[in-house]
Amino acid sequence: MKGREERPERIKIAKVINTHGVRGEVKAIPLSDFPERFNSLRTVFLEKGNGYTEYRVESIRWHKNELLIKFEGIENPEQAEMLKNKYLTVKVQDTVPLPEDSFYFFEIVDLDVVDVDGVKLGTVQDILQTGANDVYVVQRDKGKELLIPALKKVVKQVDLEKGIMVVDIPPGLLDEEV
């Protein structure tokens, strides 16, 4: 099995889309499946050049399905404008704990995929969100992609320490390549 890619340092939880008002607030779209996480949010990191700058949250409130955020030190619309189109990130260790057998996308991408007999099928390259269930895009060694539904009857085990996902491929899903 190949080695896993290095775990990301931060994950995106929202994107600043505009300024709001005259006090330096910004409007952001949440990217998290856990809206309650914003109730206790005190510190975020925004990309700046090749690194990140830490911002302390002075206040945060919901307006419709968007966030209105006031950061310490951002006092006017001109300063807030500099944050437009930036992502709010948090350190991975500050992510919301998930229920058992649930994983963040960054934990699934780059896993080696093997069938129940231990035969390597490929590596997870992407995850498609279809509405009904997610679909793992697995890059095969021979170049063709394999789409695996993220269902318990198909995905039998995810072992993050070993970097593998064990799947039971339904008949017809794995066409033999000629």
Question: What integer best gives the mean pLDDT of the chain?
Answer: 89
The per-residue pLDDT for range 97-145, each reduced to its tens digit, is: 888 888 888 889 999 999 999 999 999 999 998 888 999 999 998 778 9
CATH T-level assignment (fold) for domain 10-94 = Elongation Factor Tu (Ef-tu); domain 3 (2.40.30)
DSSP letter at 172 equals T
Confidence band (pLDDT; 50, 70, 90) for 33? confident
**Residue 11 three-state SS:** strand
Mode of pairing for the β-strands spanning 43-48 and 155-159: unpaired
Task: Return the domain boundaries, the chain.
Answer: 10-94, 105-167
CATH code that applies to domain 105-167: 2.30.30.240
Q: pTM for the whole thing? A: 0.66
**How many beta carbons lie within 10 A of that of residue 19, not counting itself?**
21
Q: What is the pLDDT of residue 1?
A: 40
Q: Residue 166 and residue 150: Cα distance in Å, rounded?
A: 12
Cα–Cα distances in angstroms (integers) from residue 9 to residues 14, 45, 89, 95, in the given order = 16, 11, 10, 11
- For 52-121, the three-class secondary structure string (H helix, E strand, C coil) is EEEEEEEEEEEECCEEEEEECCCCCHHHHHCCCCCEEEEEHHHCCCCCCCCCCHHHHCCCEEEECCCCEE
